[in-house]
A and B are shown apart, each in its own frame.
Chain A
Amino acid sequence: MQSITSARLCNQFRSMCRFPGRNRSQIVRYFSDDDSQKNKEAEVKVKKDTPIEEKSEQKASAALKLSNLLQAIIQDDLTMKSEKENLKLSTAKNKKGSFKKVVTAAEYQLGKEMADAIVGVSKELEGDKEQIKADLIDKVASMKAPVAEHILEAPVKEQDAAPKEPVNFSDLIGGMTVEKIAKARPQVKTDTQYSRAGRVRGNIKDKVDDEPILSSRRRRFAPDEPSVRAGLEESVPLGIFSDPASLRKAEPLLPIWEQMHQRDLQLAVMYPPSNIYEEMISWTNQGKLWKFPIDNEQGWEREQNVPFSEHIFLDKHLQDWCPKKGPVRHFMELVCIGLSKNPHFTVEEKKEHILGYKNYFAGKSQLLKELGAV
């Protein structure tokens, strides 16, 4: 493994903290100073001695383009990282009772350089320094040793003439305290809280919106601003409907729904009567009360325009077909008298009756001739 500088370590730790999902190979690669290893992905070996020269040329150009693209990506990545390092990003504040891990002795086997790096990083980053230190130690320790072993087994350099410091990091861990996990103690409940009413109150508290009703209602009913502002006349029409005016005349699919909707609209405008006079007016309009001057035929809309003479004088319907004398004539005259005295039939119905008799007698004409009635 190559040498590791503390500054580089700082940078790499920062990136590691940000992206805890990095795998070991990636982390190893980031630790390395070797540029060739980094640009390994970028190198594409161009094939030589191809049978067709044009193909080889194309491939070469394509490969070149690819390599350029990849290099650009990596450059961007690197520049982004450097930019990120300059940014002062806010970290999450530790909540009350957050878990603080006890740093074990095994994790002390890290080495002076690592310790220095950890201290440097914790100083630069904002937030709880002890916590950061603990996190970093945890991270490095979890990587299991190749770094630690290497550091421990490395030949002593000119710089590190003195023997390595002992295991305890008094300055590193001096400030840390092992806090107990804050247990959420159950609140002492009174009798009322234990009771059903108390529980219901608790449930209501959780669910009820504490904001004032007016503002919440306003929020609910206020129309949301459109995210996309579209003009009605701007774009070209699709041309699906050739005659849009005819669409309005189409029958509704839910006729009763439409009726109810119309009724709702009417009721929205109408108000209940404020006094008895208004009530009686509304009844009169509905037809529940007599209108003045009194008309005996109020409500009879069937035969408004038919004069009474048409009801009484029905002989004209017998003119065409009925014989002038005989039992048939006698019978038909009786029928006409009866119909003229009947107020329940309409004129059309009376005519139909007389026609019915005409058809019946027309069917029995032979029998009548035999009998001599005609």
Chain B
Amino acid sequence: MNNMLKNTLKLIPSTLGICSNIMFQQLRTRWVDCRMIRDFKRRKCVVEYADERLRLRTILKNKVLPVAIREDARAMIMELPRNSHPYRTTYRCALTSRPRGNVKPFRMSRIVWRDLADHNRLSGVQRAMW
């Protein structure tokens, strides 16, 4: 069916201004949308600065070291890029990029999770009955 449509579209000349490359099948790449890509970039940044951040945080939050050093550490940690903050990341659904209503261990939105669970695609997941 799709092939037929594609073949008929090929006959339309491009001079008419009609795009003959219309996708009739779902485009499936690694990223569902731009928000997902942005989230991925933030996560990469977080990983890059994670060690530095950890050390500075420990210096910041302890009560043993003098205050001046702690202040200095605080200034340094503020200079780090914004995307290195881990709380800028969102736990999106891996299949639909839904920001809310996600089942964390499965990294999926509740809707997709339910769909897969009903079709027996999730290991160890069963309909609750008691």
Seen from chain A, the residues whose Cβ lies within 8 Å of a Cβ on chain B are 327-328, 330-331, 334-335, 352-353, 356-357, 360, 364, 367-368, 371, 373
A364 and B55 form a contact (CB under 8 A): no
Q: Mark B38-82, 1 if CB is under 8 A from A, else 0.
A: 000000000000011011001100101110110010000000000
Q: Is the CB of B65 within 8 A of A327?
A: yes
List of A residues within 8 angstroms of B64 by Cβ: 327, 330-331, 334
Name the CB-closest residue of A to B76. Answer: A360
List, in ascending order, chain B residues with CB within 8 A of A364's CB.
Answer: 69, 72
The complex places the Cα of A327 from the Cα of B51 at a distance, in Å, of 22
4 other A-B residue contacts (CB within 8 Å) besides A331-B59, A367-B69: A328-B65, A353-B51, A367-B72, A373-B66
Quick one: given A331-B62, A334-B62, are A367 and B68 in contact (CB under 8 Å)? yes
Chain B 85-126 near chain A by CB (<8 Å), digits 1 or 0: 000000000000000000000000000000000000000000
How many angstroms between the C-alpha atoms of A353 and B58 in the bound complex? 11
Contacts A364-B72, A367-B72 given; does A353 touch B55 at CB 8 Å: yes
- In the complex, which residue of chain A has the Cβ closest to the Cβ of B67? A371
Complex CA gap A335/B59 in Å reads: 10
SS class of chain B's interface: helix, strand, loop or mixed? helix
Report the contact-size class of chain B (Cβ under 8 Å from the partner).
Answer: 10 to 19
Indicate which residue in B52, B58, B59, B68 contacts A371 across the interface (CB closer than 8 Å). Answer: B68
Task: Report chain B residues within 8 Å CB of A331.
Answer: 59, 62, 64-65
Number of interchain pairs (Cβ within 8 Å): 34
- B52 contacts across to A, CB distance below 8 A: 356
- Beta-carbon contact of A356 and B68 below 8 Å: no
Cβ–Cβ contact A352 & B66, under 8 A = no
Bound form: Cα–Cα A368–B66 in Å:
9
**Known contacts A352-B51, A364-B72, A367-B72: does B58 contact A335 (CB below 8 Å)?**
yes
Contact of B69 among A352, A353, A371 (CB under 8 A): A371
Nearest CB of chain A from residue B100's CB, rounded to whole Å: 29
Q: How far is the CA of A195 from the CA of B72 in the complex (A)?
A: 91
- Per the 8 Å Cβ criterion, residues 6-32 of B in contact with A are none
Inter-chain CA distance A373–B72, complex, in Å, is 15
Whether A356 pairs with B72 at a CB distance below 8 angstroms is no
Q: Which of B51, B58, B62, B66 has the most CB of A within 10 A?
A: B66
Contacts of A327 in B (CB 8 A): 64-66
* Inter-chain contacts of B65 with A (CB < 8 A): 327-328, 331, 373
Determine how close the nearest CB of chain A comes to the CB of B55; give it in whole angstroms: 5
